[in-house]
Amino acid sequence: MSIKDFARLDFNGENSSEGRIFVDPGTARIVDLCRVRLLRCGVDTVRQLYRGLIRPELMGLFNKPGAIVDFAGERWHAGRVGKDSGYQYKLQNADLGFILLVKNFNAKLENIGPHLKVEVSPHAIDALSPERLQARMDFYAEQILTNIERNQCAVHLALDLQGWTPPSDMVARMHCRARAARDISGIKEITWETKSSVYGRGETYMFGSAGGVQLAIYNKTEQARAADKLDYWEGVWRRRDSFDEGDPDNYNPAQDVWRVELRYHHSIIQQFASGSVDLHTGDAIETNSFAAFAPHLDGLWRYGLRQFKLLARPGYFEPIWTLIRDDARVDLPVDSLLDDTDYRRSYKTSRGFSGKNVELFLGNFVSLLARERVGVKKAFSTLKQWDCWPVIRDHYAAKEMSERDLYKHIKNILEERHVRWGRAV
């Protein structure tokens, strides 16, 4: 079923794509969003990945963990990182706003592999145009690798707004394609990548998985204060008049700022690069860098807010969702290609390598379930916690099977296994 928007009116009661008065066509309920202020929509995180061969002399920088070293004309903190990052070492300069993750855990040092990830902080993204930022990342990559090849990017898009707080039933009313949903309301300590923040109740909502498309809604004022970044962000909110141009009171320091953030894993960006088409030429956009993908971020923003649907009632978007989807524009000094591109994701099919292995895995998985007498509910819950779950989920999504369909499929073949060969044979 197609989800519809409320009627949108201006102050004169006339239909307007820019109006802030929303009317439910079925009940005539009026929602006034005139006091909502969209402070800033921008790129919060960039991660550019590279393949190549690590320069042998570079590894000497990590001989003394925790040391301050010279690299690429700047001073950096060198150290080791946890295996969860996928890399073994890092060079960090928080003043510049860059972290360089070096030496992939799953590739040998002497082999060409995905050995570098460059992570960029918000203040560096804000200070540099996409072209200059890309040139800076490429420069660092050239100092670390030979035989360099860009290996796609990952981005986080964030909208900061005031005059709205999430409804208490946010999780119940947020609809998406069978993804994980978490209301982090009873937890006080939350880790935000390299930062730890203290939260109260009902102030963080997470939907989706980190390995795909993830939606986070949280109190940015509290998070910035806990990370000692509130002064920086208040400067950003005051400097950017956002979409209410000329309004000197756009940012109200007495009111909390909430953030709606869409996080796109590099594998999802690759799906868009392969599947999205230029409407004038018919060619796939086929980008592999942040600078090349930057004109498409408006399209990515709208796509994400159509995948995660905050509903007012069945069949209708909550008006705030319509407002932030249609009015927010990613603040970058590039021309948006939103109207020139058909945005789609390209999925691997069962004809591919991963598809074949998914089918083989599922058959063996069911056999083991029967042998260990594991029920389908417990088995499916365990499967969803596995690192390879996104590959399995997306494989069956490409075959037009939802998670519920996959659950039923596993249930049916498990039942057949029980009937034909017994539970523990």
Whether residue 373 has pLDDT greater than 90: no
- pLDDT given for residue 26 in this prediction: 92
| Sequence-ordered list of residues with C-beta below 8 angstroms from that of 338, at least 6 positions apart, any chain | 296, 298, 299, 302
Return the higher-pLDDT residue of 382 and 343: 343
Q: Using CA atoms, how far apart are residues 207 and 182, in angstroms rounded to an integer?
A: 6
- Mean pLDDT on 302-315: 94
Mean pLDDT, range 77-95, rounded to an integer: 93
Helix (H), strand (E) at residue 320: helix 319-327
More confident residue, 199 or 85: 85
Question: Which one, of 149, 118, 145, lies nearest residue 134 by Cα?
Answer: 118
Cα–Cα–Cα angle for 328, 158, 100, rounded to 5 degrees: 140
Give the pLDDT confidence of 191-210 residue by residue, as tens digits.
Answer: 333 222 323 444 789 998 88
Interval 317-363: pLDDT, tens: 999 999 999 999 999 999 999 999 999 998 765 445 556 788 888 88
Most confident of 4-8, 180-184, 408-412: 4-8
The pLDDT tens digits for 207-257 are: 988 888 999 999 999 999 999 999 999 999 998 554 445 454 489 999 999
Residue 420, pLDDT above cutoff 90: no
Q: With DSSP H G I counted as helix, E B as strand and the rest as coil, what are the percentages for the chain, rounded to 5?
A: 35, 30, 35
Mean pLDDT for the chain overall: 87
In order of 150, 151, 184, 229, 289, the CA distances from 115 in angstroms are: 11, 10, 34, 31, 16
User: Does the structure show a pLDDT above 90 at 186?
Assistant: no
pLDDT at position 190 is: 34
pLDDT at 120 over 90: yes
Read off the amino acid at residue 172.
Answer: A
Q: How far is CA 70 from the centre of its chain?
A: 33
